[in-house]
Amino acid sequence: MAEINKAPRGTCDVLPQDSAKWQYVEDKMIETAKIFGFSEIRVPVFEHTEVFTKSVGDTTDVVQKEMYTFLDKGDRSITLRPELTAGVVRSVIEHGLLSGPMPLKVCYIGGCYRYEKPQAGRLREFHQFGVECFGAKSPAADAEVILLADHLLKNLGLKSYSLHINSIGCPECRKNYHAALKEYFRSQSDRLCGTCLDRLERNPMRILDCKSPVCSEIAAGAPVVLDYLCDECREHFEGVKSHLTAAGIDFSVDPHIVRGLDYYTKTVFEFVSTSLGAQSTVCGGGRYDGLIEQMHGAPTPALGFGMGIERLLMIMEAENAAMPESKKPDIYLAPMGEAAALKCTALCKALRDEGFIALTDITGRGLKAQMKYADKIGARFTMVLGDDELTANKGKIKCMESGEQTEISLDEIREKLYELAYYDGITADIDSLIK
Ligand code: ATP
Ligand code: MG
């Protein structure tokens, strides 16, 4: 029986003490996307199952083994999104965005669901930041999307990563490549796993992405797609490399990258980190020029990437990258008695209106317990308010770090905190001091 106090395998809670890190990287993601001209899009966590089977591909691991699919109460087959590209493509077609100004550039952050074997860096619910760019077929677009990922990783202070690129060609050049792959894998068919035997006839490129050790070993000796590119695809790949070089970005060409989803064409790429262990890919993406048409939209070149946020945070931790802590309360007002409690509520409201993190007692406990609490939550300043303070309209503001106390008028708390904010970097925006 499922345990009521245990999260499902492969899921993680982000606890209050860790959420500041998530907010920090998510803010950086949206901020970075913005300076490259990408705007956020939000799509549902579930879609009709066909959205994924028709795009991700029914010979991929994701569709064959990893999808959370169920019938809803109306007997519709529904799937929790294993990735966001398919849903974003469905959405931009449905809302006619592809007939607007081109290129259309969107970004997203969201949960993904894959029934995988949970291990470090591999979860059943994980989160991706991603971007998609529609309506640009030039190699400059491939470079721009790659540069965006690189810009973000650099801005987060990461060092241990490298960029690997490849081209897997278009359906045209893939015909010859598939024939060569089939011939090669047929010669090894007695050693391939059951799933790959099925893939051998239907989609031999998928064998290159199989995680079984024997299949990976066989795949290592397979013909490489770069040797089979048509002129257009070869030229495009050269263009991507030139743009990356022009931007001064280091990369290496890895002919073994094929990516785990069927919709990719031409450029594919991965950012890999040595801080990650076995699950070393933090970001993967590429071009998918045929997908929009495949999903019944007007033919539109497109490309994008998905970046795993949990893996990104693992790298940041491993590299000791600078990360903000949760903000501490600026002031805790400790009331003694009912009248003081009312005053504290009013004072807190006024302080919060100014942007300070101001807290007071909402449990009705005694002064000693309140002060213990203020200390535990790391309040920078405290002030005790009892009947005497109310009568005198004065109180002692105490700096918790130094123990220093200053008597001030209750009407001056705001000014005092501003003054302290100026020297002490406490929460309220310093700009508001100037106005
Ligand atoms: P892998 O080869 O590691 O299984 P993938 O090719 O399946 O990755 P994509 O579908 O390209 O991954 O997803 C993009 C990114 O999302 C990955 O590079 C990774 O950072 C992250 N990711 C994918 N699957 C998981 C997972 N199960 N748990 C955590 N992060 C994941
Ligand atoms: Mg995978």
**Which pLDDT does position 81 carry in this prediction?**
98
One-letter amino acid identity for 259? R
Report residue 57 as tokens: 């591909």
Nearest CA to ligand 1 atom 24: 122
The CATH number of the domain covering residues in 16-167+250-318: 3.30.930.10
Under-50 pLDDT residues of the chain: 430, 432-435
Pocket test residue of 9, 29, 112, 215 for ligand 1, highest count of atoms within 8 A of CB: 112
In ligand 1, the atom with minimum distance to the C-alpha of 279 is: 3
For residue 201, report the distance from its CA to the centre of ligand 1, in Å: 26
Closest atom of ligand 1 to 121 CA is 29
Q: Which residue shows structure tokens 């990369």?
A: 251
| Cα angle for residues 45, 48, 53 (degrees, 5° grid) | 105
Distance CA 279, CA 267 (A): 22
Q: What is the Cα–Cα distance from 58 to 145, expressed in whole angstroms?
A: 27
Tell me the β-bridge partners of 39.
106
Integer Cα distance of 126 and 118 in angstroms: 11
CA-proximal residue: ligand 1, atom 7 (nearest): 260
Atom of ligand 1 nearest to the CA of 123: 28
- In 3D, which of 116, 99, 100, 106 has the Cα closest to residue 84? 106
- CA of 308 from ligand 1 middle (Å) equals 6
- Which one, of 80, 79, 89, lies nearest residue 55 by Cα? 89
Distance CA 404, CA 396 (A): 10
Nearest CA to ligand 1 atom 11: 284
Q: In the chain, count H helices and then E strands.
A: 16, 16
Question: How far does the centroid of ligand 1 lie from the alpha carbon of residue 127, in Å?
Answer: 9
Q: Ligand 1 site: residues with CB under 6 angstroms?
A: 83, 114, 116, 121-123, 126, 128, 260-261, 279, 281-284, 306, 308, 310-311
- pTM (two decimals): 0.92
pLDDT of residue 311: 97
CB atoms within 10 A of CB 93: 18
Instruction: Write out the two tokens for 287.
Output: 């071009």
What's the CA-to-centroid distance between 30 and ligand 2, angstroms?
24
Long-range contacts of 70-75 (CB under 8 A, 24+ apart): none
Q: What's the token pair of residue 283? A: 């970001």
Question: Across 218-301, where does the E strand assignment appear?
Answer: 252-253, 265-273, 281-287
Burial of 270 from C-beta contacts in 10 A (0-12 / 13-18 / 19+): buried
Centroid of ligand 2 to alpha carbon of 111 (angstroms): 15
Q: How far is CA 91 from CA 54, 106, 238, 396, in A?
A: 15, 11, 32, 58
Q: Cα of 211 to ligand 2 centre, how many Å?
A: 9
Ligand 1 centre distance from Cα of residue 9 (Å) = 17
Atom of ligand 1 nearest to the CA of 82: 10
Q: Identify the bridge partners of residue 70 per DSSP, sorted by sequence position.
A: 78
In the chain, where the domains are located: 16-167+250-318, 171-229, 331-422
Buried-exposed string 122-133: b where 16+ CB fall within 10 A, e elsewhere: bbbbbbbbbbbb
- Tokens, residue 245: 């070089």
Q: Judge whether 165 and 269 are in contact, CB under 8 Å.
A: yes
Q: For residues 165 and 241, what is the distance between their CA atoms, to the nearest angstrom?
A: 9
- The residue contributing the CA closest to ligand 1 atom 14 is 306
Query: What local confidence, expressed as pLDDT, does residue 416 receive?
Result: 87
What does the block give as tokens for 349?
């409201």
Beta bridge partner(s), residue 386 = none
Q: Which atom of ligand 1 is nearest to the CA of 259?
A: 6
Q: How far is the CA of 368 from the centre of ligand 2 (A)?
A: 53
Q: What is the pLDDT of residue 434?
A: 43
Quote the CA–CA distance of 24 and 32 in Å, as a whole number: 12
| Ligand with minimal distance to 259 CA | 1
Distances (CA, A) of 419 to 166, 225, 414, 422: 57, 65, 9, 5
Domain 331-422 sits in CATH 3.40.50.800: yes
